[in-house]
Amino acid sequence: MRARILASILTVAALGMVGAGGTAYLLQRDRVLNQIDDRLQSRVAAARHLVTNEQALAESAATESATPVGATWTARDALESVIAGVIPDRNESSVGILDGRAAFVPGVEVAFHLEEDAAFIDRVVAEAQQDVVLGTTPSPLGTLRYIAAPIAIDGDVAVYVAAIDLDRELADLTAAFTTYAIVALIALLTIGAVGWLVAGRLLDPIRGLRVATSRITASDRHERLPVVGRDDVSDLTRTVNDMLDRLDTALTSQQQLLDDVRHELKTPLTILRGHLELLDTGRVAEVERTRALAIDELDRMTALVDDIEALAESQVAIPAWRVVDAAAFTAEVYGKARGMVGHEWLLGETASAPIELDPSRVTQALLQLVDNAAKYSPAGSTIELGSADLGDDIEFWVSDAGSGIPEGSEDRIFERFGRIDGGRGVTGSGLGLSIVKAIASVHGGSVSLSSSKEGSVFGLILPKTRPSGIPVEEDQ
């Protein structure tokens, strides 16, 4: 990851430097080339102006002396005047061509001598017969940008040539961008070195995260990762710590469940083993008694396994959400509860408000509360079922006339196998209220309990709207 991050940074930086430098170089080069063409064009303009003035003077002198113009002003004279009058500039040279050969050269120091390149002279003679020619050609003297202008007087033709060495003219620009390339390379190396260090420091927490998580096992899962800073990595560390807490809680809960199941199954298995070991198969009555006892204990173990399965499903089930009216839903559950004989059933006050829930799961939880109330209430007593609007929540409640829950046992009674013998008797697997709590939890709700010696009120408090972060199985 460190190498990939660094490679991405260097690639983007290099592309940016190459793009910016290359674009600037090409623009500057194009500007220099345009300036060179302007300089060459100005040389021809200056030569034309000089020839025009000299020719006017020659015509004036010929008129005064009654001498023909051709006798006083020739192409050779014009070419000589141009070479002498148009002085080459830096990185520039000129030559006057007459009768196909170099006849005149500047009388000042020039950067290079065009007359030394015979091939160039021949090329210019062939091109510049009638029109001004602007061109570029490679030469032993350098890469030449040249302009050739013919001078024709009375059928006699001479050629004026001015040329600029492009290599020398672009040398300063090339040197500047060579320096830029060196500086850019140094900058890339610096970015690489700094990026390597910074990426290493940023990734240190992730390496620590990997090392720490590799040390966490099922038997040693209490280590947590130190959170440093307030960046994305620290957020990741906090998220991993939260995940480890949930895994620790799940594994602890699983171990506790196995311990509780082992304890709950130990008693019926011991009873069965003891009776079977002492069984006298010759006594029919004893065999019948043992058989009945074994079937009863097996039924109890079957019910226990079913309750454990129901609890496990309740803890991981994804609700099938529906919007229902709380009052109508309460009345529907009441209609199912009143079918239980042995008690008087009463529908209390109900909350008339819409609520989003899984009707099947919540009905299961409320009927579990109803069954719990029926078990621990005197025969013929009244059990009341209703619901209340708590603002953002709805509380579905079941009130019984039992002997109440001992003080300090309110939380224990909702734990697995959390049976409390407080004059209520001990029946069932002890998982019913755990199932109720699990169903409330997957709905984003909670359970409530209010108890006294006159009876208890168990409540299921659920939010009216599905909380964010709660999984969805099906929406309609």
Residue 322 and residue 310 share a domain: no
The CA–CA distances, whole Å, from 180 to 12, 16, 176, 191 equal: 18, 13, 6, 16
Amino acid (1-letter code) at residue 82: V
Query: What is the span of the domain harbouring residue 450?
Result: 318-463
pLDDT for position 410: 60
Q: CB of 112 within 8 A of CB of 193?
A: no
Q: Could you tell me if 418 and 330 lie in one domain?
A: yes
Domain identity same for 303 and 332? no
Domain assignment present for residue 104? The answer is yes
pLDDT at 371: 87
Say whether both 260 and 323 belong to one domain. Answer: no
- Co-location of 309 and 401 in the same domain: no
Residue 372 burial by CB count (10 A; 0-12/13-18/19+): exposed, middle or buried? buried
- Residue 212 within a domain: no
What's the pLDDT score for residue 58?
64
User: How far is the C-alpha of 455 from the C-alpha of 445, rounded, in Å?
Assistant: 24
* Average pLDDT value for the chain: 83
Two structure tokens written together for 360? 């099947």
Q: Are 160 and 96 in contact (CB under 8 A)?
A: yes
Distance CA 37, CA 166 (A): 11
| Intervals of the chain under pLDDT 50 | 69, 71, 422-426, 474-476
Ramachandran region of residue 425, left (φ > 0), alpha (ψ -120 to 50) or beta? left
pTM over 0.85: no
Beta bridge partners of 356: 323
- Does one domain contain both 41 and 162? yes
Picking from 141, 157, 173, the residue at the C-terminal end of a domain is 173
**Each residue's pLDDT tens digit, 395-432:** 999 999 888 777 766 666 777 665 555 444 445 556 77
CB proximity list for 21: less than 8 A, separation 6 or greater: 177, 180, 181, 184
Q: Are residues 251 and 105 in the same domain?
A: no
Token match 């109440």: residue? 404
In the sheet where 446-452 sits, what is the strand order? 344-347, 382-389, 393-399, 455-463, 446-452
Radius of gyration of the chain (CA): 52
CATH code (residue 256)? 1.10.287
> What was the pLDDT predicted at 278?
78
Boundary of a domain, candidates 123, 157, 173:
173
Judge whether 179 lies within some domain.
no
Angle (deg, nearest 10), helices 171-215 and 232-278: 20
- Domain final residue, candidates 289, 314, 339: 314
Nearest CA among 63, 58, 110 for reference residue 81 = 58
Contacts of residue 88, defined as CB under 8 A and 6 or more positions apart, other chains included, come to 94, 106, 108, 110, 111, 162
Tokens coding 399 = 């009130």
Q: What is the CATH number of the domain that holds 125?
A: 3.30.450
Domain match, 255 and 382 both: no
Give the chain's domain count: 3
For 32-67, the pLDDT digits (tens) are 999 999 999 999 999 888 888 877 776 666 565 555
Residue 275: exposure state from Cβ atoms within 10 A (0-12, 13-18, ≥19): middle
Q: Could you tell me which of 210, 201, 231 has the C-alpha nearest to residue 2?
A: 201
> What was the pLDDT predicted at 423?
45
**Cα separation of 159 and 114, whole Å?**
13
CATH number of the domain encompassing residue 445: 3.30.565.10
- Judge whether 289 and 443 are in contact, CB under 8 Å: no
Is 281 in the same domain as 394? Answer: no
